Amino acid sequence: MRLQFKTDKRVPNPILIESGALERVGEVCLSLGISEEALIVSDPTVIKVTEDKLYESLQESKIKYSTKLIQKATKMAVEQVKEEIRKLKNKVILGVGGGGVIDVSKLSASQENIPFISIPTAASHDGIASPRAKINNLAPFSIEASSPAAIIADINVVSKAPYRLTASGCGDLISKLTSIKDWELAHLRTNEKFDEEAANLSRESGQSLIENAKLVKKRIKEGYQIVVEALIKSGISMTLAGSSRPSSGAEHMFSHKLDQIAPNSAYHGEQCGIGTIIMMFLHGGDWKKIVDTLKIVGAPTTAKEIHVDNEVIVKAICEAKEIRNDRYTILDEIKIVRKLAEEIATITGII
């Protein structure tokens, strides 16, 4: 299927979400006017399961290609990819992999001013479509990059990724329900610019998970398709808003603080899911529905499940605001002291 949006040069086009989509990579490149060279950025594990169909599609379209493998989303990886771009004079980057690969690809392409095609192999977070990149040792939160020129999501590939990655994507999706509340709050309190179209798109992506959680739990292709489509909508909401506002609020600040306190303990979306429980509680919303949905899809809802001590959770709640003092959220409305943080985490069952 094609995910359709109003004509907008900022929005990826085409957006293919279907079984066998890898076989159409060459076709998509040609449709974008790319007929010379392509640099494939991937990782050693992913390339083994995608290279046959990927290379065959490019060969059939007579597009030359080279491959650069990376291990992690680091500043060094970005520089290495940029070096390959300059050396080979490539016309497009194909980011084939999970969040780290896609983030390195989009930032490298943005800085070298060439188009980037997002080819996700897991439904782990909304970086699939967003104009933002999270690179280790560059910033504690995501930084501006370019939106993909096109998105090619092969459901056959996505459905074979470890399910934990999809559950993490579900945590990132449900976080949109509190990020929008924070944005609305900022608009009310500080008159921050609010984009209704972007907000609705992001809210819709989070709501779709609640409505389809039991289907996602079945681990069938229809469920994976719903998650991928929702993640793409969330990413595009950031493009429309011109910032990460519609998809990143206090729950993401909590996750970024966890990254600082207890790095590599859990996936981004897993942490955001738990952050959403906390922030929905503070907003006075239905936090129990968040917990129930995360449990249905198999995403963590407790400190133990993300392999951190109770003290780490409490500390992250207390210090989350420090991540972004420039962004008004529910954490500006309520003074978080240690006792309150402990109460929130206890009442919600996180600790």
Q: Are strands 64-69 and 15-18 parallel, antiparallel or unpaired?
A: unpaired
What average pLDDT does range 183-206 have in this prediction? 97
Instruction: Based on the fold, state whether residues 197 and 213 are members of the same structural domain.
Output: yes
Q: Do 346 and 310 contact (CB within 8 A), yes or no?
A: no
Backbone torsions φ then ψ of 68, nearest 5 degrees: -120, 120
Closest CA to 209 of 159, 248, 170: 170
Residue 5 lies in a domain: no
Instruction: Based on the fold, state whether residues 35 and 184 are members of the same structural domain.
Output: no
Q: At 336, which CATH number?
A: 1.20.1090.10
**What pLDDT score does 172 carry?**
97
Instruction: Based on the fold, state whether residues 33 and 121 are members of the same structural domain.
Output: yes
**What pLDDT score does 3 carry?**
60
Q: At 138, which CATH number?
A: 3.40.50.1970
Instruction: Based on the fold, state whether residues 19 and 57 are members of the same structural domain.
Output: yes
Residue 10 lies in a domain: no
Q: What is the mean pLDDT of the chain?
A: 94
Instruction: Based on the fold, state whether residues 104 and 188 are members of the same structural domain.
Output: no
Instruction: Based on the fold, state whether residues 200 and 98 are members of the same structural domain.
Output: no
Is the pLDDT assigned to residue 338 strictly greater than 60?
Answer: yes
Instruction: Based on the fold, state whether residues 326 and 196 are members of the same structural domain.
Output: yes
Q: Which residue among 158, 173, 207 closes a domain?
A: 158
Instruction: Based on the fold, state whether residues 307 and 185 are members of the same structural domain.
Output: yes
pLDDT class of 87 with cuts at 50, 70, 90? confident
**What pLDDT score does 136 carry?**
81
Q: How far apart are CA 171 and CA 93, in angstroms?
A: 28
Q: How far apart are CA 298 and CA 167, in angstroms?
A: 6
Q: How far apart are CA 314 and CA 39, in angstroms?
A: 44
Q: Which residue among 158, 192, 211 closes a domain?
A: 158
Q: Which residue among 158, 185, 215 closes a domain?
A: 158
* pLDDT one-digit tens code per residue, 145-176: 989 999 999 999 999 999 999 999 999 999 99
Instruction: Based on the fold, state whether residues 148 and 253 are members of the same structural domain.
Output: no
Residue 285 identity: G
Percentage of the chain beyond pLDDT 90 is 89
**What pLDDT score does 6 carry?**
55
Radius of gyration of the chain (CA): 19
Residue 266 lies in a domain: yes
Residue 75 lies in a domain: yes
pLDDT class of 8 with cuts at 50, 70, 90? low
Residue 274 lies in a domain: yes
Q: How far apart are CA 327 and CA 335, in angstroms?
A: 15
Backbone torsions φ then ψ of 197, nearest 5 degrees: -65, -45
Q: How many domains does one find in the chain?
A: 2
Q: How far apart are CA 28 and CA 92, in angstroms?
A: 11
pLDDT class of 5 with cuts at 50, 70, 90? low
CA neighbours closer than 13 Å in the CB half-sphere of residue 46: 29
Residue 21 lies in a domain: yes
Provide the domain limits for residue 124.
15-158
pLDDT class of 4 with cuts at 50, 70, 90? low
Instruction: Based on the fold, state whether residues 91 and 225 are members of the same structural domain.
Output: no
Q: Do 266 and 237 contact (CB within 8 A), yes or no?
A: no
Instruction: Based on the fold, state whether residues 82 and 178 are members of the same structural domain.
Output: no
Q: Do 20 and 154 contact (CB within 8 A), yes or no?
A: yes
What average pLDDT does range 112-119 have in this prediction? 95
Residue 4 lies in a domain: no
Q: How far apart are CA 77 and CA 83, in angstroms?
A: 10
Residue 49 lies in a domain: yes
Instruction: Based on the fold, state whether residues 316 and 175 are members of the same structural domain.
Output: yes
